[in-house]
Amino acid sequence: MIVMLLLSAGVVFAQNSTTTPPVKSLNPRPVLEKIQNINEERREIKGAIKDVREDSREKIKDLRLDTKETIKAATSSLIKRDLLKNTRDEANKILEARKATTSVMKHQLKALTRQHFGLTIERYSIALKQFDNLAARIQSRIEKIRASGANVSTAESSLAAARIAIEKARADSKVVSDIVAEVSDTSELRAVRLQIAEAIKRANASVKAAHRALGVAAAALAKLHRPQKSQATSTETSN
């Protein structure tokens, strides 16, 4: 229901690189594939539920039409009452069979919904861990460049803003986790569906904002790194 809005992060960088850590697109493929598979399963189950309901309606409709035709040929009121009673009993059996079948399918949907929420929380966790790692690497590079005497105030300011954005994403993702954790029974999911949807919407926006903020910080660091390389090259040439 709410699955298409979901985002996380795929920040990739070489552990031993001495250059500016790159900020890449948000796309944790393994988790994304799991969510896509769950969405497909949900669509299939919803389609099956629709088919079962339609089939039961057709069966009851045919049953009533057959009874109507049979009653026309009935020779007594007692036979008519028996026919009507048998029709009601058969219709109830059809409805009970439908209820039993759709009940199993609905439980499957609820289980898939819980899996979906779990994967959503996992995506947030992956994003935040990668954001923290990247922020730490940017901070390390800033410190090294500061030691060379360069002015790093712009990069520091950008990184500080990114860290604030990361903490907001962390807080908003925790809200999602807390809401899901409080739902003790799958039957309660429907009651908090809107609340979860709103929380996920906020968390998605916060994760994307943190991703953008880290991009700004990385760009600010890159501007510092380029002059350092130029200066080093110039020094080597003069020697």
- All structural domains of the chain with their residue ranges: 28-234
Question: In a 10 Å sphere around its CB, with 0-12 CB exposed, 13-18 middle and 19+ buried, how is residue 16 labelled?
Answer: exposed
Distances (CA, A) of 52 to 38, 45, 77, 92, 96: 21, 10, 35, 15, 12
Question: In a 10 Å sphere around its CB, with 0-12 CB exposed, 13-18 middle and 19+ buried, how is residue 52 labelled?
Answer: middle
Query: Which of 148-153's residues contact partners 24+ apart within 8 Å by CB, and which partners?
Result: 148/228, 150/224, 150/227, 150/228, 152/224
Q: Against a cut of 0.85, is the pTM above it?
A: no
Sequential pLDDT tens for the chain (239 residues):
322 323 333 332 222 333 444 555 555 677 778 888 888 988 999 999 999 999 999 999 999 999 888 888 877 888 888 888 999 999 999 999 999 999 899 888 888 888 888 888 989 999 999 999 999 999 999 999 999 888 999 999 999 999 999 999 999 999 999 988 887 555 566 677 788 889 999 999 999 999 999 999 999 998 886 654 444 444 444 44
Residue 229's pLDDT is 47
Q: Are 186 and 118 in contact (CB under 8 A)?
A: no
**CATH number for the 28-234 domain, one of 1.20.58, 2.30.30, 1.10.1670, 3.30.70?**
1.20.58
User: What distance in Å separates the CA atoms of residue 163 and residue 210, rounded to the nearest whole number?
Assistant: 8
User: What distance in Å separates the CA atoms of residue 197 and residue 184, rounded to the nearest whole number?
Assistant: 18
The one-letter amino acid at 182: E
